């Protein structure tokens, strides 16, 4: 195994067939950094514009369309002492007649984020300026990648503001250190991107942000030849899960559930009846992103049911 230490110089706000920044072999490990959702680096300097600028793409030698890329998320750690969040919920997550009661800044007042002081040694994020009875609320760190994936099929270049079969801006809290992500390969080399680190985030990213911060990320890759999957998958020590990215929300759920049914049949020896019987009683669903153009739903099953 070779470990690559990669320092990015350019970032991309779409996932597409850009020139690779580094070629790696299956089994290799990469240590790199990401910028935050506004393109601010570890020094708070804007080094890229656009939404969720991505580090990459990384070319995985031997990857071809019809293969499956395996990405092990080994380390995700904030490399800056502060992060920022928005301070109002999205209008689409509350009743329409409540939208006008959401927080709105006075007319003409520029938008300002709320800042959080990040202490990686203590493992906390603390709100810098107290807010009413919340005071300086302190939250435990739970770093994750909000947006990552591979180049999509058909020569497309898709904004990092949304998601699809290639991954993208899924904002699922389960993509933390220790998880493994699986992506379909659509182009030679797969072209793997990563970014949009969150120090903390609630389910759904319903305020439009987590605690946005730049990150140090270590990952490794493997390749499964001639393994076709329809949607991104993942697993950790406790469960396997599938993602569906679409709008409306029920279509995202349908994609995730269908992908889980296929996984249980292709890899775990169940037929459609057995998979349906199992999922019907033990399935768990989680919400990824419900803020962006495509929503993300997660279909999850504990590993103790499929040993």
How do residues 162-209 score in pLDDT, each as one tens digit? 999 999 999 999 999 999 999 999 999 999 999 999 999 999 999 999
pLDDT tens figures, 275-299 = 999 999 999 999 999 999 999 999 9
Rounded average pLDDT over 250-260: 98
Q: Contact 160/167 with Cβ under 8 angstroms?
A: no
Q: What is the pLDDT of residue 103?
A: 84
What domains appear along the chain, each with residue ranges and CATH number? 3-81+141-224 (2.60.120.580), 83-138 (no CATH), 233-305 (3.10.28.20)
Instruction: Give the position of tokens 């005071």.
Output: 135
What is the pTM for the complete model shown?
0.96
pLDDT tens figures, 29-69 = 999 999 999 999 999 999 999 999 999 999 999 999 999 99
Q: What is the pLDDT of residue 127?
A: 98
How many whole angstroms separate alpha carbon 33 and alpha carbon 80?
A: 11
Assign 106 a pLDDT band (cuts: 50, 70, 90): confident
How many whole angstroms separate alpha carbon 296 and alpha carbon 256?
A: 9
Q: What is the pLDDT of residue 109?
A: 87
Is residue 24 helix, strand or coil?
strand
Q: What is the pLDDT of residue 108?
A: 84
**Average pLDDT across the chain, whole number:** 97
Comparing CA positions, the residue from 240, 281, 236, 287 lying closest to residue 259 is 240
How many whole angstroms separate alpha carbon 93 and alpha carbon 246?
A: 16
Is residue 56 helix, strand or coil?
strand
Comparing CA positions, the residue from 223, 273, 196, 256 lying closest to residue 72 is 223
Residue 105 pLDDT greater than 90, yes or no: no
Q: Compute how many other C-beta atoms are within 10 angstroms of the C-beta atom of residue 88.
A: 12
Q: What is the pLDDT of residue 244?
A: 98
End-to-end CA distance of the chain: 29
Residue 96 makes CB contacts below 8 A (sequence gap 6+) with none
Helix or strand (DSSP H, E) at 285: strand 284-287
- Edge-first strand order for the sheet with 22-24 is 22-24, 54-60, 192-198, 144-150, 167-169, 163-164
Q: Contact 163/231 with Cβ under 8 angstroms?
A: no
Assign 148 a pLDDT band (cuts: 50, 70, 90): very high
Residue 307 pLDDT greater than 90, yes or no: no
Comparing CA positions, the residue from 185, 191, 192, 182 lying closest to residue 267 is 182
Residue 249 pLDDT greater than 90, yes or no: yes
Residue 241 pLDDT greater than 90, yes or no: yes
pLDDT tens figures, 11-20 = 999 999 999 9
Give the tokens for residue 140: 């435990």
């Amino acid at each position: 195994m070779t470990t690559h230490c990669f320092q990015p110089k350019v970032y991309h706000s779409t996932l597409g067939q850009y020139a690779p920044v580094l070629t790696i072999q299956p089994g290799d490990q990469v240590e790199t950094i990401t910028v935050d959702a506004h393109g601010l680096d570890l020094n708070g300097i804007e080094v890229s514009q656009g939404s969720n600028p991505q580090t990459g793409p990384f070319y995985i030698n031997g990857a071809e369309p019809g293969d499956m890329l395996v990405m092990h998320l080994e380390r995700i750690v904030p490399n800056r002492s502060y992060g920022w969040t928005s301070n109002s919920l999205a209008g689409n997550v509350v009743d329409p007649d409540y939208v006008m009661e959401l927080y709105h800044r006075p007319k003409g007042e520029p938008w300002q984020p709320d800042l959080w002081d990040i202490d990686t040694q203590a493992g906390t994020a603390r709100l810098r300026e107290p807010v009413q009875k919340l005071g300086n609320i302190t939250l435990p760190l739970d770093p994750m990648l909000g947006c990552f994936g591979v180049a999509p099929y058909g020569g497309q270049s898709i904004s990092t503001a949304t998601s699809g079969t290639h991954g993208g801006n899924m904002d699922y809290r389960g993509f933390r250190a220790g998880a493994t992500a699986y992506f379909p390969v659509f182009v030679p080399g797969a072209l793997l991107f990563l970014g949009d680190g969150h120090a903390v985030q609630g389910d759904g990213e319903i305020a439009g942000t987590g605690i946005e911060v730049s990150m140090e990320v270590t990952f490794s890759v493997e390749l499964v030849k001639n393994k076709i999957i329809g949607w991104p998958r993942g697993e950790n020590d406790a469960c396997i899960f599938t993602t569906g990215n679409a709008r409306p929300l029920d279509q995202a759920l349908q994609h995730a559930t269908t992908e889980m049914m296929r996984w249980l049949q292709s890899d775990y020896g169940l037929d459609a009846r057995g998979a349906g019987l199992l999922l019907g009683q033990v399935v768990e669903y989680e919400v990824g992103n419900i803020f962006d153009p495509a929503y993300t739903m997660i279909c999850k099953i504990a590993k103790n049911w499929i040993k």
